[in-house]
Amino acid sequence: MKAKGFGAVLALFAAILPAGFVLAQSQGLEQKIWTLLDDGKAAYVSLAESDLRALGAGLDLPDGGRSITALAGKADGGAFDPRDVARLPAQQLGYKADWIVERFRRYNLDWDITALRLISLNPEAKNYPWFIIINGGAANFYEFYVDLKNRPGWAQYLAQKLNVMIVTIPGNFKYGGWDLPVLDATRQPAYLLDRDLSMDEYEMRNAIYTNSLILQGLKALVTRHTSGDILLIGHSTSGELSMLAYEDPDLRARLKGRYLGWGSGGPARLELLRKLRGKEIVARAGASRQAGKTPLHVLERRDPPSYAHGYSGFLNPLYEAGMTHLQIAQRWLAAEARRRPNFKQQLQNLEHGADLGEKAWVENEIESLLKRTGNPWRIAVEDVEKDLYATNFTRMDGFQRMVWTTAKLDRNHWNAEEPMRSIEV
């Protein structure tokens, strides 16, 4: 088993697929990537930008991406309806698009999980695993399908060669987006796409939003709407889902011992090992920290100050000369205010780190919330509690190749100045 920090997702993907799959302009570049990954002595390896760009050869979009850009340009806040994508001619896109909504039941409640499925027109695509992207906590499928200026996102390019599915975790997509400010407490996840819920129910769902719940929906999407081998790419906190998938025999059989971490920092189970080794990890960005303990049902909300010291930077497409990091973050969050949820359930973070000691507090929060609301949903608290912190007990064996990847200047997932302090190493 090998774990490597890497230059970028495309480069890494080329490296972990079977030899002979050509995303690069020459076999020499492919061999270079294999050589880098097979360096057993290096704590991390990287790929030059020029080599990374060369990997895009042959991934041109038939219409140059104009069809999707036009759809986004007509929609308020860029929140175009993915069902409209499915109506576009496949020859125009280079893939057949389908919008999928899977409703599943857990904790005596219905939940919706969604995916944009891109079936490549390339006849060779069937020979390789489905490339399944899962968004991180505060994002959704838009982030990988288009960029901040509504230009083609990298998922569209990969779909010229591979079958791709972009999964949005429950609650993080809403038809037409959200029209309330990010910091408005009534801006809540769309757990069910065909109805609004009471605030009591939103808060209860926020508090019981376990990774085990999300995995159930993910499995439904994968098993019902793809076939053959798969590669799960969970960004950030959703990296836990790729690990949890190995606990499921049906998914494990299709993963074939492969793991790709993308700015995910590895599974929660590794966090305690980092502490034992005295490895200090710089706090990640996201939402600004609040004084005191925030009730479990309260969402973590993204804001410019927190993004300014983590995610945003001078490579942001919205950057203009002279802008500060804070100004970049402000413009970014303003541009994505409608279609991107920009909130996150606390359990996603709690189950993605060394917070196992908080389990008793989490259980008390859930039990208190059920008592306060009278539990009209008849949620069995023991069903939720047995799922809590499952991420701390995932399997760490049986893998043929494991690779963690991130971009050099993604400061929320990599320390460019002191790489050995990065959470990925």
Q: 10-residue block means of pLDDT along the chain (425 residues)?
A: 39 41 58 89 90 85 98 98 99 99 99 99 96 94 98 97 98 99 98 98 99 98 98 91 93 93 74 64 58 89 87 84 94 96 95 83 98 98 97 85 82 84 76
| pLDDT confidence of residue 308 | 86
Query: Quick one: tokens of 67?
Result: 């069809």
CB neighbour list of residue 182: distance below 8 Å, 6 or more residues apart:
301, 302, 303, 333, 337, 342, 343
Q: Is there a domain that residue 226 lies in?
A: yes
Burial of residue 97 (number of CB atoms within 10 Å: 0-12, 13-18, 19+): buried
Q: Is there a domain that residue 2 lies in?
A: no
In the chain, the N- to C-terminal Cα span, in Å, equals 14
Q: How many domains does the chain have?
A: 1
Predicted structure pTM score: 0.90
| Pairwise CA distance, residues 342 & 188, whole Å | 10
Range of the domain at 355: 60-264+346-394
Q: Which of 90, 143, 148, 146 lies closest to 119 in space, CA to CA?
A: 90
Q: Is there a domain that residue 75 lies in?
A: yes
The answer to whether residues 181 and 361 touch, using CB atoms and an 8 Å cutoff, is no
375: left (phi over 0), alpha (psi -120 to 50) or beta: left
| pLDDT confidence of residue 410 | 79
| Pairwise CA distance, residues 183 & 204, whole Å | 19
Main-chain dihedrals φ then ψ at residue 146, nearest 5 degrees? -140, 160
Q: Name the β-bridge partners of 97.
A: 118
Q: Which residue type occupies 389? A: Y
Q: Is there a domain that residue 148 lies in?
A: yes
Q: Is there a domain that residue 16 lies in?
A: no
User: CB count, 10 Å around CB of 35?
Assistant: 11
Q: Is there a domain that residue 358 lies in?
A: yes
Burial string for 402-421 (b: 16+ CB within 10 Å, else e) reads: bbbbbbbebbbbbbeeeeee
Read off the pLDDT of residues 340-363 as tens digits, 9 standing for 90 and up. 999 999 999 999 876 788 999 999
Q: Is there a domain that residue 101 lies in?
A: yes
CB neighbour list of residue 418: distance below 8 Å, 6 or more residues apart:
none
| pLDDT confidence of residue 49 | 86
| pLDDT confidence of residue 19 | 36
Q: Is there a domain that residue 83 lies in?
A: yes
Burial of residue 386 (number of CB atoms within 10 Å: 0-12, 13-18, 19+): exposed
| pLDDT confidence of residue 408 | 83
Length of the chain (residues): 425
CB neighbour list of residue 31: distance below 8 Å, 6 or more residues apart:
none
